[in-house]
Amino acid sequence: MQTTTIDKREDTDTRDTLERLEREFAADSPFAQPLTGRAVVQARGLTRTYGKGDAAVHALTGVDIDIAAGRLTAIMGPSGSGKSTLMHILAGLDEPTGGTVWIDGAEITRLKEKKLTQLRRDKVGFIFQSFNLLATLSADENIVLPLSLARRQADEAWRRAVIEAVGLQDRLTHRPAELSGGQQQRVAVARALITRPAVLFADEPTGNLDSRTGGEVLDLLRRSVDEFGQTVIMVTHDVGAASIADRVVFLKDGRIVLDRARMTRDAIYDTIKNLETPAAKPVARVAVEV
């Protein structure tokens, strides 16, 4: 029988990082005071149905939500709750069956593909579980790739600030194969920030990382909000990841069933556990700015 050894120091480092972030955003912290701001992303009456007739699957059923600027929002829910579908529609990666989405004031559900592609390029940043780096490009080239595709020059001061924030100063000439998983995800974070997007979507950003490296990436996302004023929407199943968010939105059966400001890991865990039972019922309407 094969025995797996867990690095206790690694687990301790990760726990310390998450506990520090949780303390900084605990209820008695000055940062915990609710902040209001304009809604960068808005959705009304979102529905998404796959298939027809008896085979139809209703992934979303009448979702209303506002995402305020400069906040980190976590979207959670049991498997099949619709959280990934919601993120893809909010980001313009999928079309709703019904309803409307706005990003930074533009109604994306009415845009033709060319205009939608341009809006995503200019207004939206993405961080995926699989990194999605180009193997033939250096770390630096991957970071500025969105600007290169848009034929725009990087603001050198901003580029240096982003690279310093993610700690990649000495790895810029390395290609993805020469980087660790954590370093590759740092490149992905820098690439998402380089265009100064109106909103950054993170889809399970720690899913392919060990616990220590995942904690470092979460720290980067938190800093991007606190230091750069970035708006972040993160889909995650990770209780520790959700505990650093300013707001946690829970879905079940395609509906928002709970929408709360900062929560501890224990509270999030208990909520998810309760949602996995048939007793959870959806709220009537959620369109909240926090």
Kindly state the tokens that stand for 109. 């559900």
Q: Domains along the chain?
A: 10-26+69-95+112-275 (3.40.50.300)
Beta carbons of 127 and 166 less than 8 angstroms apart: no
Q: Is the pTM of this model over 0.75?
A: yes
Q: What's the length of the chain? A: 290
Which residues is 49 bridged to in the sheet? 58
CA distance 199 to 197: 5
Taking only the tens place, the pLDDT of each residue in 176-230 is 999 998 899 999 999 999 999 999 999 998 888 888 888 888 999 999 999 999 9
39-70, pLDDT tens digit by residue? 999 999 999 999 988 889 999 999 999 999 99
